[in-house]
């Protein structure tokens, strides 16, 4: 399970370095084989999007789920084209580095300063300024739409 936020850097070659605390788990669960793609949830779409980074077994579960969606459904087709079509396999090297494809870096407005956000079964990868802006929106906004959908969740 991946949790927490890490400030990391994008190097001149377009690589990020996965924090040490995740490397053992990534070695164990996927032998450093990962898939990166564009994110499609509402918090990641906007001027600067974010990317999703999946360990290969988690990605394969997602692909299986998407493959079962109706072929003629318009939204399912868009999802397939966007998420699957932009997916790129990547391997974390022994130093923990991962190359992010240029197209995906442009989509997410990536520059040197990046935020890696654990999301249990995957990571989100954000441009640091976009992440800070979203955090400000979440903290300062009074938009509680959807809270009722969480039912009896308590902390």
Whether residue 105 lies inside any domain: the answer is yes
- Read off the CATH number of the domain in which 32 is found: 3.40.1550.20
Whether residue 153 lies inside any domain: the answer is no
Whether residue 145 lies inside any domain: the answer is no
Backbone φ and ψ of 47, nearest 5°: -55, -50
pTM above 0.75, yes or no: yes
Domain residues for the domain of 54 are 5-140
Average pLDDT, the chain: 90
Q: What are the pLDDT digits (tens) for 71-91?
A: 999 999 998 999 999 999 999
- Number of domains the chain contains: 1
Q: What are the pLDDT digits (tens) for 3-28?
A: 999 999 999 999 999 999 999 999 99
Whether residue 147 lies inside any domain: the answer is no
* pLDDT higher than 70, residue 133: yes
Question: How far apart (Å, rounded) are the C-alpha atoms in residues 39 and 43?
Answer: 9
Which has the closest alpha carbon to 53: 45, 42, 62?
62
């Amino acid at each position: 399970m991946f949790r927490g936020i890490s400030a990391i850097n994008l190097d001149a070659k377009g690589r990020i370095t996965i924090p040490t605390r995740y490397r053992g788990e990534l070695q164990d669960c996927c032998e450093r084989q990962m898939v990166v793609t564009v994110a499609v949830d509402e918090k990641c779409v906007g001027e600067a999007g974010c990317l999703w980074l999946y360990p290969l077994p988690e990605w394969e579960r997602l692909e299986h789920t998407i493959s079962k969606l109706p072929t003629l459904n318009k939204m399912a087709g868009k999802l397939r084209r966007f998420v699957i079509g932009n997916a790129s396999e990547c391997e974390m090297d022994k130093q923990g580095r991962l190359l992010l494809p240029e197209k995906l870096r442009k989509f997410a407005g990536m520059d040197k300063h990046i935020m890696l956000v654990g999301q249990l079964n995957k990571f989100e990868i954000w441009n640091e300024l976009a992440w800070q802006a979203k955090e400000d929106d979440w903290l300062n906004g009074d938009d509680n739409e959807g809270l009722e959908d969480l039912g009896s969740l308590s902390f």
